[in-house]
Structure 1
Amino acid sequence: MMKVVLKVELHDEKIRKKAMQTASGISGVESVAVDKKDNKMTVIGDVDSIKVAVKLKKLCRANLVSVGPAMEPKKEEKPPEPKKEPEPKKDPKEECAQLFKMYEPYFNHIRHQPYPNYCYRTLEENPCGCVIC
């Protein structure tokens, strides 16, 4: 990330808009800011400073003031979390008992389901039926 500061002569709003559009149209530009009071334009991104200056010189007078790394926001450090005491180990038999209690309704439901009724027909009942031997 580079921060390019240019001194530009922007006479009116129309030229300022064109200059901002031109600067933002360059690949790698992340932000463009114009300071009317000091007649400075700041371009931040992964760009070549000379390429930005040449593009802006087609619209107005532009001179490079400074080129340097963009200041990245400082990452806030989180305070260390207090150490939690490990949970006491449970007896495996108690864990199994809890699991059986949770799944008991499910098993009871399956256990009490009636078996499907199958219909058997013989050749005597339906003489036109198909029999596979």
Structure 2
Amino acid sequence: MKKLVVKLDLHDDRGRSKAMQVVSGFGGIGSLNMDTKDNKLTVSGDFDPIKVVNKLRKSWHTDIVSVGPAKEDDGKKNEDQVIKANQGYYPTPHTYYYMPYYEETQSCVIC
């Protein structure tokens, strides 16, 4: 588990959401957190920090604040929060059966 904190040159909410969307596309991302006041993006999980920073630098001025191992407690708390947030979010799938309606018709008997 790694933890990366970068400071981005963002000006509006659209840029913030776009940056988070770009980072969330990488595999192994455990959690993302954006500090809107300081424009700091915190990424934790099992990912390659170099690839993440290079991708962000293609669109925004990016300064690395810190890179290092993530605390195990932080990941467990985030997983518990995600599990609690997802409980009840996805509705139970319903199974629908189609039963055609047939009218009983009078039968013709040929004698």
Q: Greater strand share, 1 or 2?
A: 2
Alignment of 1:56-67 (within 5 A): 56-67=56-67
1:37 — aligned with what?
37
Give structure 2 stretches of 5+ with no counterpart: 77-111
Deviation at 1:46, TM superposition (A): 0.8
Which structure's CA Rg is the greater one? 1
1:17 — aligned with what?
17
Matched AA of 2:47? V
Preserved contact between residue 15 and residue 59 of structure 1 (Cα < 8 Å):
no
| TM-score, structure 2 normalization | 0.63
Q: Which has the higher contact order (CA 8 A, sep 6+)?
A: 2
Preserved contact between residue 24 and residue 30 of structure 1 (Cα < 8 Å):
no
2:70 pairs with 1:70: yes
Matched AA of 1:38? D
Alignment of 1:1-133 (within 5 A): 1-73=1-73
Task: Give the Cα separation in 1 of the matches to 2:64 and 2:48.
Answer: 12
Give structure 1 stretches of 5+ with no counterpart: 76-133
Matched AA of 1:41? L
Matched AA of 2:12? D
Deviation at 1:57, TM superposition (A): 1.1
Cα RMSD, aligned residues only: 1.6
- The size of the alignment, in residue pairs, is 75
| TM-score, structure 1 normalization | 0.53
Matched AA of 1:49? P
Task: Give the Cα separation in 1 of the matches to 2:21 and 2:73.
Answer: 26
2:89 — aligned with what?
none
Preserved contact between residue 53 and residue 62 of structure 1 (Cα < 8 Å):
yes
Provide the identity percentage.
53
1:123 — aligned with what?
none
Matched AA of 2:52? V
Deviation at 1:30, TM superposition (A): 1.1
Task: Give the Cα separation in 2 of the matches to 1:33 and 1:5.
Answer: 9
Task: Give the Cα separation in 1 of the matches to 2:14 and 2:36.
Answer: 13
